[in-house]
Amino acid sequence: MAKERYQTQSTKNIRQLYCLLIVSFSGVLRKGQRMRNIFVIAALSVIGGCANINVSQPVVAEFEKSKTYSMNYEKVWARAVDWFADHNVTIEKIEKDSGLLTAKYLIETNDNYLDCGQIKATGLMSDPNIERYGSLNLTVRQVDVNSTKVNVNFFGEFKLAGNDAWDGRLVTTNGKCVSTGNLEKSVLSYIGS
């Protein structure tokens, strides 16, 4: 077991040294050789692995998260519950008195609904698997007898997984995502229709 740990650590050290040499080598090339050797360095990096994942911050967009309807509380509440049913989203909390509706599970979605930033992965055997999941809750509040306000909250996270081209090891990362506003728009439009 100690030998196995040493070999794993040695492999990691060799990979780190290789990546460091590639980066260092690219800086010492003379100007005339730079263009010709950039291709060689890029090819060696791809063949050699050195998995690298860069994620930029997501863009926080301005959009409508709440809307007041000229409908009574009962009708708006029923439409909000219907949205969950019609979109196959299981409800975890349904508290009519407090006006809270919460999705039971994280909703698997795509970049139309969640902005997770620009995700760039290099040195992997193939394109990484990126999954986006969001949490959804709605609040329904009576403003007066004939008007009701709905607030939609949607936020999430991403999980990335891929295999390092150097040794095939699993490389993972995760991060926070922000809503694009499209899901909120869908819910609010549905309730108002």
pLDDT in tens, the chain (193 residues): 333 333 334 444 455 555 544 444 444 444 455 555 555 555 544 444 578 889 999 999 999 999 999 999 999 999 999 999 999 999 999 999 999 999 988 888 888 999 999 999 999 999 999 999 999 999 999 999 999 999 999 999 999 999 999 889 999 999 999 999 999 999 999 999 9
Of 50, 66, 82, which residue sits at a domain end?
A: 50
- pLDDT at position 42 is 53
**Do 26 and 114 fall within a single domain?**
no
* φ/ψ of residue 53, rounded to 5: -125, 125
**Do 37 and 94 fall within a single domain?**
no
Secondary-structure breakdown of the chain: helix, strand, coil percentages, each rounded to the nearest 5: 35, 35, 25
- pTM tops 0.95, yes or no: no
**Do 35 and 58 fall within a single domain?**
no
What residue type is 72 in one-letter code?
N
**Do 43 and 80 fall within a single domain?**
no
User: What is the distance between the alpha carbons of residues 44 and 1, in angstroms, rounded to a whole number?
Assistant: 32
CATH number of the structural domain spanning residue 112: 3.30.530
User: What is the distance between the alpha carbons of residues 41 and 135, in angstroms, rounded to a whole number?
Assistant: 43
**Do 130 and 186 fall within a single domain?**
yes
Split into its structural domains, the chain has a count of 2
**Do 156 and 188 fall within a single domain?**
yes
**Do 83 and 160 fall within a single domain?**
yes
User: What is the distance between the alpha carbons of residues 112 and 90, in angstroms, rounded to a whole number?
Assistant: 21
**Do 176 and 106 fall within a single domain?**
yes
**Do 153 and 140 fall within a single domain?**
yes
Domain containing 34: what range?
A: 2-50
**Do 111 and 179 fall within a single domain?**
yes
> Which residues fall within 8 angstroms of residue 179, CB to CB, at 6 or more apart?
61, 63, 113, 114, 115, 134, 154, 155, 156
Q: Is 168 left (phi over 0), alpha (psi -120 to 50) or beta?
A: left
- pLDDT at position 37 is 55
CB atoms within 10 A of CB 128: 19
**Do 187 and 135 fall within a single domain?**
yes
**Do 38 and 81 fall within a single domain?**
no
